[in-house]
């Protein structure tokens, strides 16, 4: 890497080191001065390639997946053209391979499965991508997996997925720890990705399914998982008398333990949810670095919870008996949207009431409701006689009594409690972590200033470790639902 000459400023970005250069562009390690974070900046060198450069940036900015790096901003002025994007944490797989690092088969299966899930998203939404190598997959010190944003302008060609599947099938064997449980299974899967012994290489969907099977087998060696498709990674072995006797002994021990153990403790007592926070009238910063005058307003201190949303659905069920279940719907809500129940609601609600585990996460009735789209949020706030905050109001609430909103420590997935980590002095909770949030109103994406107005999602997400309270996303589709997306309410005065 080459240090930048005198730490040159490019807009809001202080260029620190040159990472890569070719005839068309140069990539810099830079500091975003206004928020004090490290980012990558791609600067266009050949101005005759500006249209193609900006088309690729728009394609990258349209990507919305928690595993894939984000675009922060694009600038196209007469004397400069560049875009800033996320600096992914941790070494990539190429760097780990060069260092001689290997992974246990179960771990590598998990890494490959997550990579496949991101590629399936590209396939589903017809995203064209540049070739993907091991250097596109980063793993940080906590084991979090993130992928470089490789989207480019244009439609996805049929052979793109095969190209990347085959490449990974050839490149990954060096990363498998030898002579471990599952090593042979992983090597077999990678050979199928290369198309060996099959009519054609595997698809990304098949790669994902086989990785899940391997993870399951290695986590539970006694289980026998039925394969999907014509190929199988399962090897059946005869059950010996010793195994049978061992299982019977274990069953007896478990039975006695169940009989002798003390009764289950009562679930923890729920705390009272905090009241809405009043943001006094005043001049507050906006997310775009300007300032704006606001009248006083009240905003909920936390995201809408599962318990609160359940009350809304109960109300809709009562109204449905008289044919009035659409009374809170937005006038322009799509006619084919007939329910405001979140994804897998019955199971989620039952798990939350039992303080159980939902998709590997602990959930209670005080956990944020997720799996809701913009139309669901609009109907809920209408029922509450409120509205969604605009991104400017949300940011004003964040900034109230907070000198450095970017420094608010990100919180993880958690219910609303007095111990919520990302809490402002005024009592605003969950703005730098837990889940990102829908806002009201629409605005253009700065990465595509000539584009139309889009819905804005704001705030940190537990699925995006690099996000914080200043993070924003621009979404065209109001029907988007995600496991890290909720909302809060502006409370209207009576």
pLDDT tens-place string over residues 291-331: 999 999 999 999 999 999 999 999 999 999 888 999 999 99
pLDDT tens for the 494 residues of the chain, in order: 555 555 789 888 999 999 999 988 999 999 998 888 899 999 999 888 888 999 999 999 888 888 899 898 888 888 889 999 999 999 999 999 999 999 999 999 999 999 999 899 888 888 999 999 999 999 988 888 999 999 999 999 888 999 999 999 999 999 999 988 889 989 999 999 999 888 888 999 999 989 988 888 887 544 433 334 445 554 444 445 444 444 554 455 444 444 444 444 444 456 689 999 999 999 999 998 899 999 999 999 999 999 999 999 999 999 998 889 999 999 999 999 999 999 899 999 999 999 999 888 999 999 999 999 999 999 999 999 999 999 999 999 999 999 999 888 888 898 998 777 789 999 999 999 899 999 999 999 887 777 889 999 999 999 887 789 999 999 999 999 999 999 999 987 65
Report d(CA 29, CA 129) in Å as an integer: 23
* Selection from 202, 276, 266, 268 nearest residue 233 by Cα: 202
Which residues on adjacent β-strands are paired with residue 277? 299
Q: Which pLDDT value is given to residue 254?
A: 45
CB 227 within 8 A of CB 234: yes
Kindly compute the dihedral angle of the four CA atoms of residues 284, 290, 294, 297, in this order, to the nearest 10 degrees. Answer: -60
Residues 6+ apart with CB under 8 A from 159: none
User: N- to C-terminal Cα distance for the chain?
Assistant: 60
Handedness of CA 425, 431, 434, 437 (dihedral sign): positive
CB 279 within 8 A of CB 461: no
Give the number of other CB atoms < 10 A from CB of residue 492. Answer: 12
**DSSP alpha helix (H) spans, 172-240:** 183-193, 204-219
Q: Containing H/E element for 342?
A: none
Question: How many whole angstroms from its chain centre is CA 133?
Answer: 22
Q: How many helices (H) and strands (E) does the chain have?
A: 11, 21
Tell me phi and psi for residue 168, to 5 degrees: -70, -35
**Tokens at 98, concatenated:** 């060069």
CB 144 within 8 A of CB 86: no
Give the number of other CB atoms < 10 A from CB of residue 38. Answer: 13
**Tokens at 46, concatenated:** 């050949």
3-state secondary structure of 449: coil
Q: Which pLDDT value is given to residue 220?
A: 54
CB 454 within 8 A of CB 444: yes
pLDDT 10s digits, 94-139: 999 999 999 999 999 999 999 999 899 888 888 999 999 999 999 9
Task: Please provide the DSSP assignment of 384-432 as one string.
Answer: TTEEPPBHHHHHHHHHTT-S-GGGSPPP-S--S-TT-SSB-TT--BSSS
Q: Which pLDDT value is given to residue 248?
A: 52
Report d(CA 186, CA 233) in Å as an integer: 9
Kindly compute the dihedral angle of the four CA atoms of residues 295, 298, 301, 306, in this order, to the nearest 10 degrees. Answer: -130
Q: Which pLDDT value is given to residue 251?
A: 52
């Amino acid at each position: 890497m080459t240090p930048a000459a005198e730490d040159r400023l490019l807009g809001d970005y202080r260029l620190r080191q040159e990472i890569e250069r070719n005839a068309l562009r140069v990539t810099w390690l830079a500091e975003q001065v206004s928020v004090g974070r490290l980012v990558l900046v791609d600067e266009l060198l050949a101005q005759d390639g500006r249209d193609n450069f900006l088309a690729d940036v728009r394609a990258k900015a349209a990507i919305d997946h928690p595993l894939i790096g984000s675009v922060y901003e694009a600038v196209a002025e007469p004397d400069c053209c560049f875009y800033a994007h996320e600096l992914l944490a941790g070494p990539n797989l190429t760097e780990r391979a060069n260092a001689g690092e290997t992974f246990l088969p179960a771990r590598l299966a998990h890494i490959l499965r997550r990579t496949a899930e991101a590629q399936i998203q590209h396939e589903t939404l017809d995203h064209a991508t540049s070739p993907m190598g091991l250097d596109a997959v980063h793993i940080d010190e906590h084991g979090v997996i993130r992928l470089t944003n490789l989207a480019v302008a244009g439609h996805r060609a049929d052979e793109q997925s095969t190209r990347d599947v085959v490449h990974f099938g050839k490149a990954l064997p060096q990363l498998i720890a030898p002579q471990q449980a599952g090593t042979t299974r992983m090597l077999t899967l990678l050979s199928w990705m290369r198309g060996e012994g099959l009519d054609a290489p595997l698809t990304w969907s098949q790669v994902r399914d086989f990785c899940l099977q391997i993870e399951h087998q290695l986590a539970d060696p006694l289980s026998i998982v039925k394969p999907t498709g014509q190929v199988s990674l399962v090897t059946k072995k005869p059950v010996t008398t010793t195994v049978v006797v061992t299982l019977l002994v274990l069953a007896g021990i478990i039975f006695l333990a169940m009989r002798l153990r003390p009764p289950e403790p009562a679930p923890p007592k729920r705390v009272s949810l905090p009241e809405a926070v009043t943001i006094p009238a005043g001049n507050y910063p906006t997310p775009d670095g300007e300032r704006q005058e606001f009248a006083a307003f009240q905003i909920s201190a936390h995201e809408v919870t599962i318990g609160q949303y359940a009350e809304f659905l109960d109300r809709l069920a009562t109204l449905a008996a008289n044919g009035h279940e659409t009374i809170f719907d937005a006038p322009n809500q799509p006619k084919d949207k007939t329910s405001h129940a979140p994804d897998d609601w019955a199971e989620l609600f039952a798990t939350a009431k039992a303080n159980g585990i939902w998709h590997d996460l602990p959930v209670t009735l005080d956990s944020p409701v997720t799996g809701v789209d913009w139309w669901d949020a609009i109907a809920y706030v209408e029922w509450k006689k409120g509205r969604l905050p605009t991104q400017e109001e949300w940011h004003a609430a964040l900034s109230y009594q907070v000198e450095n909103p970017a420094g608010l420590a990100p919180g993880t997935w958690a219910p609303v409690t007095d111990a919520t980590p990302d809490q402002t002095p005024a009592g605003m909770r969950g703005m730098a972590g837990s889940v990102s949030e829908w806002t009201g109103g629409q605005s253009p994406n700065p990465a595509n200033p000539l584009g139309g107005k889009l819905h804005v999602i704001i705030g940190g997400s537990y699925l995006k470790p690099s996000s914080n309270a200043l993070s924003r996303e621009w979404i065209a589709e109001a029907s988007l639902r995600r496991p890290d997306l909720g909302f809060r309410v502006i409370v209207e005065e009576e």
